[in-house]
Structure 1
Amino acid sequence: MRLGQNLCHLTIAAFIAMALWSNAASADPVTPEQITVALPKLEALAQGAVADGAVPGLAIAVVHNDEVVFLKGFGHREAGKPETVDADTVFQIASLSKPVSATVVAALVSDGVVSWNSKIADLDPSFRLADPYPTSELTIRDLFSHRSGLPGTAGDDLEDIGYDRATILHRLRFVPPLSSFRAGYSYSNFGLTEGAVAAARPTGKSWEEVADEKLYRPLGMASTSSRNADFIKHANRAALHVKVDGAWAAKIKRDPDAQAPAGGVSSTARDLAEWVRLLLGDGVYAGKTLIAADALDQTHMPLMTRGKNPVSGGESFYGLGWNIEFGRHGLSWGHAGAFSVGARTLVTIFPKDKLGIVILANAFPTGVPEGLFDSFADLVFEGKVEKDWIEAWDAIYAGMFGPVVETAKARFAAPPSAARPAAPANAYAGHYANDFIGDAVVSRAGDGLMLKVGPAGARSYSLTHYDGDLFLTYPDAETPDRPVGVSFVVGPDGKASAVTIGFLDDNHLGTLPRVGD
């Protein structure tokens, strides 16, 4: 029954997509003159966004008809410092890495190394999902379209506490599925990462080496890498920024190596413009076929429904590492990227019009990339900007964490009037563990407790008593004022038999039994 429902779901989605595609294909392609008129206005909007403090810095590339027609940086690499952003400033591009990695896999498909339907069980026999049937049938296509059934946050929690890629991918087998196999869309960084790593395995090389060999070097993307060590070597690199007391501040660094295919690429506007040229050329670059068109075309076929664009209302689908949208100006391929610790990026391509734009920003939260893109699209296709798109998108991104933080703060605003005292510290102190989180150690620290988790206790969190056996901690760098509960179950012997770590419990795997005593 589930398989039949899944096929029906995909058939309906494909029918809707094809109908929208046909309608979108009817308009005349844009002319070079339309682009020429729009570009100075895009530049003015970008300058205004930086001048108004919407972001510290930006870099933008526009490609039309295989020509880079706009390439420029705005603002500063780091707020409060004089170094400016230019076309060669290296940004961490976050989830814009996904379509880049899909292009790398398309090159492997083109070369006959794998197919999009290659089974993960054949490529990487050690990988497991929670259930045997999906494990045996799972393909690269499933993982790049986020339809494996893995919950979206699976593995992100382990990355946050310091585990490496191999450990995280191994432990995905302990995560219960969020949906039936191929029946639901759930955006998964580590699911896609496994798809990319598995695709690279037949080459005998690491994912990072394959990305260099198949995409970055052939396109002359000399400043692009899937290694964080390469990013931090660049003097001309953008810092990550978050708001502190209403001002942008470069407070946090982010090493995304564990999920490099999904979020660990660093690049420049200049380099990404060359990648867009390859895409607009259907795999042909500088007159040479680098990737077979049919291998690349697969990435842009709508597979899973995503609903509507939250601001423009366009119908949105997911392909293989790409969003496919049927919006106000026809068919587009795109992807956004964000690190909640300070990065925002976007690529959008209008394939019929041979037009693409890349926008890189060094701050979060901000809707500037989408706002500039929607404004530019209006200018190109309509000759005028329909509304303040930056303001509309800012509201979307500003709302991502605000309600969560306020709810948590309200819940723990003050202990109950009849708050119960904590047990003695030695009731909680000890060693806890489960298969997914691994080890956790609770120890006395002054008047409170200290929780250590991750490999060799890599992350430490102070625990402050709240009520009874419930303690609070503040684990998130991006939301430092959000309290999260850490609770213990204390048995008749006066010792805690288990601890539940709230910030590691998204997938109900945050309860760790006491071990060893």
Structure 2
Amino acid sequence: MSTRTKRPITASRLAVGAILAMWVAVNAFSTDQTPVIDSEPRLSDLGQYIESSLLEWDLPGLAVAVVLNDKVIFAQGFGVKELGKDDPVDAKTLFQIGSTTKAFAAATLGALVDDGLLQWDDPVVTHLPWFALKDPSVTRNVTIRDLLAHRSGMPAHAFPALTLLNAREVAERAHMLDNQTPLREAFRYSNQAYGIAGLIVEEVTGRDWGDWLKERLLSPLHMSNSEGSPYSIWEDSYVAPAFLGTAPSGQVGIEDAPGMNVAMPHGVDRDGVRRVLAWQSYDNLQAAGSMASNVMDMANWLIMQVNAGDFEGVQVLNATTVQEMHAPQISSQSTFLFTDEGRPVSYGMGWTRETFKGKTYLSHGGGIFGFPAYAALLPEIKAGIVVLANGSTWTPYYPHQEITARVFSRLLDLEDEDWKSRTMTQTQAILEQVDQIFAAQDAARVKDTEPTLPLSEYLGTYTSDVSGPFNIFMDGDRMRLQFEGVGAFSGELEHWHHDDFRLFFDGGDGQAYGSSLVTFTVDTQETIQQLELGAFGVYRPANQ
């Protein structure tokens, strides 16, 4: 029987594909918890329903906005910005929104299509002549549409989350990685592809992606509180400079962003206790997941989406451009717990497309640690919802999807279903599977073994062509791993068995990686040949 602590719903899972930031002056925020409603009787009990969800999912805070036609019919915050403090979440509290950024990324390119500065089917090398993948044929033929539809075959490698590489350095390493699928033959989620798409925007406009985002989208949508990077909100030392890194300042709280209406992300430590995390930079893949926003701002974005690019009489994007982003580009997998079974699922450009109760359903989640985010549309009835939370869960979007299903079924005038029970049943099934995986890992452990070599022989610098270097060293009696650069990825190594060590991350949501094993390969001459860093690739001693 496994001795590992049973995982609560509040333990985060690995969501590297995932990944942001924002701010505004205190007098720009309302702390009034009264919902901003254009009187929609079908949602009269929504606040009470969300309060119960907040408790059942053990979330510190949550904010929700709902739009219908061209109106905001609900916008309210629930819970607190940071555990242990009384500051309430409201409709203007900023959260990182992770990969929900991807729809904005597609729209920044759509704006360039509208302006006649590029086309969806332009080859990437037309705008980035230096760009290269391992296969020269794919390099020549991969297009902007391919990047945004996750059909380029580029891998979902996590090395940008470990290091302090900038966006260009990350993109220039693309040729070192094997494509996972042939071009246009399969859906393969890739944050790197979106990072490259953001660089195309910068090349064409001569502007930083975040600046173009503000000028072309956020400003006309009156999203004045939203930002393209956490560094626009926080002083540098309070931000984890790598997605899986740590803030140079150490512990961070809402008091470190004076005058800002910000929520703090919460993960779970190794003992299963909620802990406050720092905001995490995704700036080396900025267009993939670096934004921060609040539900009031996001409501304006949703209104534009369901009104064919129009917001308050201004055509922010051409209707054909919005239609193209929503249109199926490649078959993919369902991301919605309550999708209509047996119906096609596809990915557009920044949106997953499926059906709910016979209606087209578009959605996307965001997986920054401690900041699960979710946005969804029912374009046929011009409805949209955004749900932002500040606590990680093993099933990161299930609370959001439960609320979404409740809202959309009401707006479709359907009878209520027990969404909560269905969601919790599925969650418990997933948790049981997770426990079985860890139990099998524990059972496979050979106890009372020793490493092949003295611990001192495992210390030193390791690197690879794609990522690194990092150092393994002793800190007192603890074995530590640290990538180069203040705030880069780091963690503690504990011997597991033979030449395997369990790795506990300092940054991110540590318990999500409690099962990550670092494996050293030692040859017959008792020389370390390589180190396998879990899902993050193979590294060799730097002196080889």
176-185 vs 415-424, which moves further:
415-424
Which aligned pairs between 1:142-221 and structure 2 lie closer than 5 A? 142-151=146-155, 153-154=156-157, 156-221=158-223
Cα deviation, residue 95, structure 1: 1.5
Cα deviation, residue 319, structure 1: 0.3
SS at match of 2:42: helix
Distance 1:370 1:257, change over 3 A: same
Residue identity matched to 2:377: I
Distance 1:357 1:502, change over 3 A: closer
* Alignment-derived partner of residue 255 in structure 1: 281
Cα deviation, residue 391, structure 1: 4.2
Residue identity matched to 1:273: A
Residue identity matched to 2:132: R
- Cα pair 2:528 2:541 within 8 Å, conserved: yes
Asked if residue 434 in structure 1 is aligned to residue 464 in structure 2, the reply is yes
420-429 vs 289-298, which moves further:
420-429
Asked if residue 352 in structure 1 is aligned to residue 380 in structure 2, the reply is yes
Structure 2 distance, partners of 1:127, 1:493, is 42
- Cα pair 2:67 2:385 within 8 Å, conserved: yes
- Cα pair 1:371 1:391 within 8 Å, conserved: no
Cα deviation, residue 403, structure 1: 4.4
Which aligned pairs between 1:30-41 and structure 2 lie closer than 5 A? 36-41=40-45
Which aligned pairs between 1:92-111 and structure 2 lie closer than 5 A? 92-111=96-115
Cα deviation, residue 405, structure 1: 6.8
Asked if residue 465 in structure 1 is aligned to residue 491 in structure 2, the reply is no
SS at match of 1:224: coil
* Alignment-derived partner of residue 19 in structure 1: none
Asked if residue 320 in structure 1 is aligned to residue 322 in structure 2, the reply is no
Cα deviation, residue 129, structure 1: 1.7
Structure 2 distance, partners of 1:160, 1:399, is 31
Asked if residue 127 in structure 1 is aligned to residue 131 in structure 2, the reply is yes
Cα deviation, residue 374, structure 1: 0.1
SS at match of 2:213: helix
* Alignment-derived partner of residue 76 in structure 2: 72
Cα deviation, residue 421, structure 1: 4.4
Q: Give CA deviations for 1:374-393 in whole Å, capped at 9, x if unaligned.
A: 01112222343112x24434
- Cα pair 1:90 1:236 within 8 Å, conserved: yes
- Cα pair 1:59 1:74 within 8 Å, conserved: yes
Distance 1:403 1:51, change over 3 A: closer
Which aligned pairs between 1:280-291 and structure 2 lie closer than 5 A? 280-291=306-317
Q: Give CA deviations for 1:453-494 in whole Å, capped at 9, x if unaligned.
A: 345894443333344433332237424371433233334544
Larger relative contact order (Cα-Cα within 8 Å, sequence gap ≥ 6) = 2
- Cα pair 2:371 2:389 within 8 Å, conserved: yes
Residue identity matched to 2:468: G
Q: TM-score, normalised by structure 1?
A: 0.84
Distance 1:255 1:398, change over 3 A: farther
- Cα pair 1:50 1:57 within 8 Å, conserved: yes
Distance 1:441 1:409, change over 3 A: farther
* Alignment-derived partner of residue 295 in structure 2: 269
SS at match of 2:469: strand
Residue identity matched to 1:237: V
**Highest Rg: 1 or 2?**
1
Asked if residue 334 in structure 1 is aligned to residue 363 in structure 2, the reply is yes
* Alignment-derived partner of residue 478 in structure 1: 509
* Alignment-derived partner of residue 540 in structure 2: 513
1:375 corresponds, among 384, 389, 406, to 406
- Cα pair 1:118 1:140 within 8 Å, conserved: yes
Structure 2 distance, partners of 1:363, 1:304, is 32
- Long gaps (5+) in structure 1: 1-33, 505-509
Structure 2 distance, partners of 1:472, 1:249, is 21
Structure 2 distance, partners of 1:446, 1:40, is 58
Q: TM-score, normalised by structure 2?
A: 0.80
Distance 1:399 1:83, change over 3 A: farther
Structure 1 distance, partners of 2:167, 2:538, is 22
Asked if residue 364 in structure 1 is aligned to residue 392 in structure 2, the reply is yes
Structure 1 distance, partners of 2:470, 2:366, is 32
Cα deviation, residue 410, structure 1: 4.4
Structure 2 distance, partners of 1:60, 1:287, is 25
Distance 1:399 1:237, change over 3 A: farther
Which aligned pairs between 1:413-424 and structure 2 lie closer than 5 A? 416-417=446-447, 419-424=449-454
Cα deviation, residue 42, structure 1: 2.0
SS at match of 2:415: coil
- Cα pair 1:329 1:377 within 8 Å, conserved: no
- Long gaps (5+) in structure 2: 1-37, 235-256
1:384 corresponds, among 407, 412, 415, to 415
Q: Give CA deviations for 1:252-308 in whole Å, capped at 9, x if unaligned.
A: 432222232121111111111111222222122221222211122110111111244
Cα deviation, residue 445, structure 1: 4.9
Structure 2 distance, partners of 1:253, 1:400, is 27
Aligned positions, number: 475
Q: Percent identity?
A: 26
Q: Give CA deviations for 1:118-168 in whole Å, capped at 9, x if unaligned.
A: 2111111222222111111111110111001112x32x2331344332322
* Alignment-derived partner of residue 296 in structure 1: 322
Higher relative helix content: 1
Residue identity matched to 1:241: H
* Alignment-derived partner of residue 452 in structure 1: 482
Residue identity matched to 2:392: F
SS at match of 2:107: helix
Asked if residue 487 in structure 1 is aligned to residue 522 in structure 2, the reply is no
